[in-house]
Structure formats: C-alpha cells, structure tokens
Structure 1
Amino acid sequence: MHRRLALAITAAVLLTPLATAQPADIATFSSRLSWTMDDRRFGGWSGLELSPDGSTFVMVSDRANILTGRIERDENGLITGVQAGTIRPLKYTTGGDLPRYHDDSEGLAMAADGRIYVSFESVHRVVVYDNAVVERAIDLPRVPDYDSLQNNSSLEALAIDEDGAIYIIPERSGEIDKPFPVHRLRGETWETPYEIPRRGEFLVVGADIGPDGRLYVLERALSSMLGFSSRVRRFDMSETALTNETTLFTSPAGRHDNLEGVAVWRDTAGHMRVTMVSDDNFRFFQTTEFVEYVVPE
C-alpha cells in the first residue's frame, strides 16, 4: 500500500487535525500508544490479530515481515506499553525468501488451531502457514476477479470466522458507486455472498469477525494536506447477507495515523474493543501506533 500513497503523503509532512462535524460515534476512544523498535525492518504494519483477552498480538507488515508480542495495560485496560519479539520474514512456498512482487503482505487472520492466513497485493493471493513460525507458505485457491484487481489496491482485508471460513475484501471496488465484494472461501471453493456499500471516499483496509459473530470493517480516507480519516463499520452476518450496517466511529483527518490493521475482542466488562495498528509507510513524519475504541454492548 505504501507505494500508492507516497506522493500524496509527502505533501502532508504535518498531520494536522481537522475540526469538521462528525455524526455521533457509538464507539468511544479508549487509548493510543506510539511505539517503535531499533530495527530497520520495523514499520509498515498492515495486518493485526489479538488473543481473545487482547493481551498478545501478531502483526504483518507490507514488506513481508511478521512480529509477535504483548500489549501492556493498566488497571483500567488502557494501553501503556508493548513488549515485542523479533521481527521475522514471511517465507515463500519453497521455504525460501519471497520473490520480488510476491512480498506485499497486507491482510492477516489467525485460525483457532494457530494457522496463520496472509493476503498479498501485486501478485494477488492468500496463503496459509501452519503456525507463527511461518516457515513455508501454502497457496490457497486463486481469488475471484483476479485479473481485474488493481496492483496496489487489492487484497487488503482478511478475516476468518469460527468455522474456519476465510473472507477477503479488496481495497477498491473499481468504481466510486460500486459496492465492495466480500469473497468467502470454504474448503477449495470461493464464493461471493456479500457486498458492502461504498460510502464516500473511504476504502477498505482491514476486517475482523468479532467474538459476537459480526463483521467489522476498517476503512481509510486520505486528505493530502490533513492526513488520514478512519472509519469502522459493523455488520450482522447471515448465510447470504450482511445486515444492520452500523458506523461505530469516524475520525477526523489527522486524529490518528494510517490505521490499517484491526482486531476485535471482548473485555472483562463484556464490551467489544476495536484495536487497530497504523502503517507508517516507513516515512519519518508518520508513526506506528496502537489505537483502541470501546463499543458498549
């Protein structure tokens, strides 16, 4: 994703908040933490998964790296720190390094058995690894509409349900008035049971299915002078339809950095928490940050 935004972001050296009228948010802002590591590979985090209690994380970057660690919280559940492991490279189907154009990893989903699914742009595909060691990728069946996917705007959002079905949403729908398709993989067969209406200039960058069985979709819009706006929408899921579309929050431009990874979990009070991580595009004027909102039940 970072290549496509480079020119627009460079024009916005300072991400200045914009005071614009927003609809009342259902979700409330909880906490935010900026952080970094002394490793040149750090940055570009585009996919996020959390443990059911929100304490540990797995992330992938858009330069084919993976990182695991622990989120530290205070007695109120606010994020106070990060303890991270070692950044490691994702591997190819041969077990070796990913070839050029095969290394733009974007989406992340983790199954209950520990298998890790990763979606890629450029060479559009979804792969699975046996576990977080990510020693050898296994290609899943080719995604629908492969030939029409855009080079740097394709398989951004990846999610998995409790039955192990995989869901993929492209970043762009092709036209401003065309809905985003939601493709689902069960076994060896992709199908397209859902569409998400396109609202405004927002594009899909992340997705997760929460412990409540609902689909949460993270979207982003970019103002070249004011920074990023983020939005999370939630949908009830049936076998053939998404219903009860609900906007949980819309942030004004510049409030947060380039949020791309999203994970949803339930806290001890029974509330859903939407935790996100930003892709800093490896730019000095951007930052990696965890951002969290709470959705009252």
Structure 2
Amino acid sequence: MSRFSRRRVLALAAGGALSAAGLSVAIARNRPPHAIDEVPITVRAAPFEELGVGGLGRVEFLGGLVLTSDSRDFGGLSGLFMDPDGRGLLALSDRGYWVAGTLVTENGRPRALADARVAPMQGPGGRALPRSRRRDTESLTIWRGMAYVGIEGVHEVLRFPIGRDGLAARGEVMPLPAEVKTLPENQSFEAVAVVPLGPLAGSVIAIAERSDPGDDTPTRGWFVTGPGGRFTVARRGGYDVTDAAFLPSGDLLILERRLGWLSGWGMRIRRVEGSAVRPGALLDGPTLLELGSPARIDNMEGLAVHSDARGVVLTLISDDNFFLLQKTVLLQFRLAGTPAA
C-alpha cells in the first residue's frame, strides 16, 4: 500500500516455474528490441538476528536483514518472488519499479543482497509505470516465465513475459469482471498467486486487501484465469491481506498485517488447504505464525516460498512506504515438518 493515510499510522520447477537459475538468467542476459537500462544500486544489509519473541510453533526463524540504499527508487517493496534455488530475488515497489538482486546466505541464513538493480516497470505500449496511473504495483508471482502483478488504484492484474524479456517485459492487462472496479481505491489487489497442483493448476488468483468495511468482514478474491468466478477470504482481528503464496504441497499461505496505535505493527500467516481454493469458497485456516510487539517487524507485505535441502523456506519483506520512520525488513523462516527438496 503506497499511501500513508491508513498505514503509516517459481513455485517448483516441476510445477512449471522457471528453472533454478531461470529468473536470474532472464533478467541478466535477455535484451529484447525494447530493452531498458537496469540501474545497479548498492544495498546495505544490517543483521536482524533476533525477533525478541519465542515459541514460533511450526516455523523456525532463520534470520533477517534490514536493507537500506541511497537510491531513491529503492523502498516501498510490496511484492516478492524467490528463485527456486533461493538466490535470485525479484521484488516490486509501490512506485512501479522492479528491484532485483541475489540473496547471499551463510549456513542457510540471509547475510546480504548482492548485484542489486532497479528498472522501471513497463505497461501496455511500453509506457513507464512510474509515470502512469498503474504505478501502485502491490503483488507479484511468476509462473512458467510469466510474471503476474496486482495493481491498486486501477484494480488491475498485468502479466509480463519476464522469462522472455527480463525486466524490459511489457505488461498486458488481464480481463477481470466489472465488479472489481468497486473495490476501495487503496485496498485492492495486494495478493496474486498461481494454483500449483490439482484440477485448477495454473489458475491465477487475486485477493483484495480489504474489499468491504468492517474488521471482520471477509474480503473478496477472484480467479483471474482458469474457472473464473469469485471467492472470499475470512478476516478477523483487524488484519488485512497483504500477500499470498502456495506451498509445494498445494496449500495456500495468506500473509496479513495490522497496525495498532499502541501495539505497533503486527503480522500473521494463515494456512489454507489447497483443496478449499475454488470458486464460491470461503477460505480460512489455522494461524501458522503471528508476530507483534515486542518483535521489531515493520509493514510486512511480501511473501515468497522456495525449497532447499532442509525443507520449505518462507521469505517476507516489508514496505517502508518511503518513510524515514519505517524500514525495509527481510525475514526468513523454515516451515517445520516439510520434506526436503
């Protein structure tokens, strides 16, 4: 979410995602005729070693980083995707920029973001998103070389042939039902994901942050491709949806966030059975992870999933809203009880 008014106060290769190095190679080497310049930037990484809380249940905290850069285009990171090998990182800002880099780890723990670069996203006809009404890009996933991006304000989902054109890919508007235009201007498509398994495999879903008034009113989601139709996602406790990602098992993880005047930032991840994701359903599930004070988190808006030799890794990133009193935090957790890759 890009505005301060409310807030301040690939899949696996077997599922059709890019190969282990595919995203990095596509971004680094492909130069289509309409290529744009990617600007190298330096990103500093300070350790975020301790959450200040215990009892994380079914997840293990691997570590985290506080990321800073002198680039004015770095920040506001709201969507996130990790290469299947856990090294290539692609994020997008809510000012319409790609942010790419290589996540450096040591003994399975994040240590730095290397080879970082930014580039303006391009919409239909090659128009730069930072200079358009589509600049508020909020959510990201990649499937079979295609990046799907949810945009607030205009309530759209764009697809980018990133596997072919890298960061120079031009977005194409995907058809959506007319009712999405009734969503609140600053509370729409915070989450996009692609169903990896089952009869609906390959279907793109998009979920609104908070489609209707009320702290416990379900929010709406749509099948952008596949069967079509609408579903809803249960909400409670004042949490809003900020991202979603599927596990290799086919279950759906939903990332949520809230802000309290006294309690500060809070985040929650719920796990929804994959078989429940279908048109007409009300999606809900148990809490996998919940963090608030005294954890020193921020406005957690991006969620990505990949597997390593020890199991499934969850990577989260925060949107600092380009505001001095907030920070860009990257956190990683391992999901307990998951099979090795």
Report the TM-score, using the length of structure 1 for normalisation. 0.87
Letter in 2 for 1:137: G
- Residue 39 of structure 2: aligned partner: none
In structure 1, what is the equivalent of residue 153 of structure 2? Answer: 122
Of 91, 98, 104, the match for 1:66: 98
Once the two structures are superposed, the pairs formed by residues 132-211 of structure 1 within 5 Å of their partners are 132-143=166-177, 145-162=179-196, 163-176=201-214, 177-186=216-225, 190-192=228-230, 194-211=231-248
Q: Secondary structure at the match of 2:285?
A: strand
User: 1:287 and 2:339 equivalent?
Assistant: no
Q: 2:98·2:167 contact (CA, 8 Å) conserved in 1?
A: no
- Gap regions ≥5 residues in structure 1: 10-17
Change (3 A) 1:140 1:146: same
Question: Match of 1:54, SS?
Answer: coil
Greater CA drift, 120-129 or 82-91: 82-91
Distance 2:55 2:212 in 1: 27
Whole-angstrom CA distance in 1 between matches of 2:208 and 2:119: 26
Paired position in structure 1 for 2:128: 97
Q: What CA deviation, in whole Å up to 9, does each residue of 1:197-233 have, x standing for no partner?
A: 1121000001111212111110000013442100001
Name the CA distance, whole Å, in 2 between partners of 1:249 and 1:8: 23
1:3 maps to which residue?
3
Aligned counterparts of 1:134 and 1:143: Cα–Cα separation in 2: 28
Kindly provide the amino acid, as one letter, of the partner of residue 32 in structure 1: G
- Give the deviation of 1:164 after TM superposition: 2.1
Structure 1 position 244, deviation (Å): 7.5
Contact 1:248 1:295 in 2 (8 A): no
Aligned counterparts, 1:20-59, within 5 A? 25-59=57-91
In 1, distance between residues paired with 2:105 and 2:8?
Answer: 35
1:109: which partner in 2?
141
CA contact (8 A) 1:25 1:247 kept: no
225, 233, 254: which one pairs with 1:217?
254
Deviation at 1:243, TM superposition (A): 7.0
Q: CA deviation at 1:23?
A: 8.4
With normalisation by structure 2, the TM-score equals 0.77
Please provide the CA RMSD for this pair: 2.5
Counterpart amino acid of 2:187?
S
Distance 1:42 1:214 in 2: 32
Q: Runs of at least 4 residues of structure 1 off by over 4 A?
A: 4-8, 241-244
CA distance in 1, matches of 2:306, 2:139: 18
Secondary structure of 1:110's partner?
Answer: strand
Identity within the alignment, %: 31
Equivalent in 224, 233, 250 of residue 270 of structure 2 = 233
Distance in 2 (CA, whole Å) between partners of 1:149 and 1:34 is 33
Q: Secondary structure at the match of 1:198?
A: coil
From 300, 305, 308, the equivalent of 1:264 is: 305
What is residue 250 of structure 1 aligned with on the other side? 290
Cα offset for 1:242? 6.8
Structure with bigger helix share is 2
The answer to whether the Cα contact below 8 Å between 1:184 and 1:190 also exists between their aligned partners in 2 is yes
Q: What SS does the corresponding residue of 2:229 show, helix, strand or coil? A: strand
Q: Which has the higher contact order (CA 8 A, sep 6+)?
A: 1
Residue identity matched to 1:220: R
> Which AA in structure 2 matches 1:119?
G
Query: 2-side partners of 1:243 and 1:89: how far apart?
Result: 35
| CA 286–220 in structure 1, closer or farther in 2 if over 3 Å, else same | same
Q: In structure 2, what is the equivalent of residue 278 of structure 1?
A: 318
Q: How many residues are matched?
A: 284
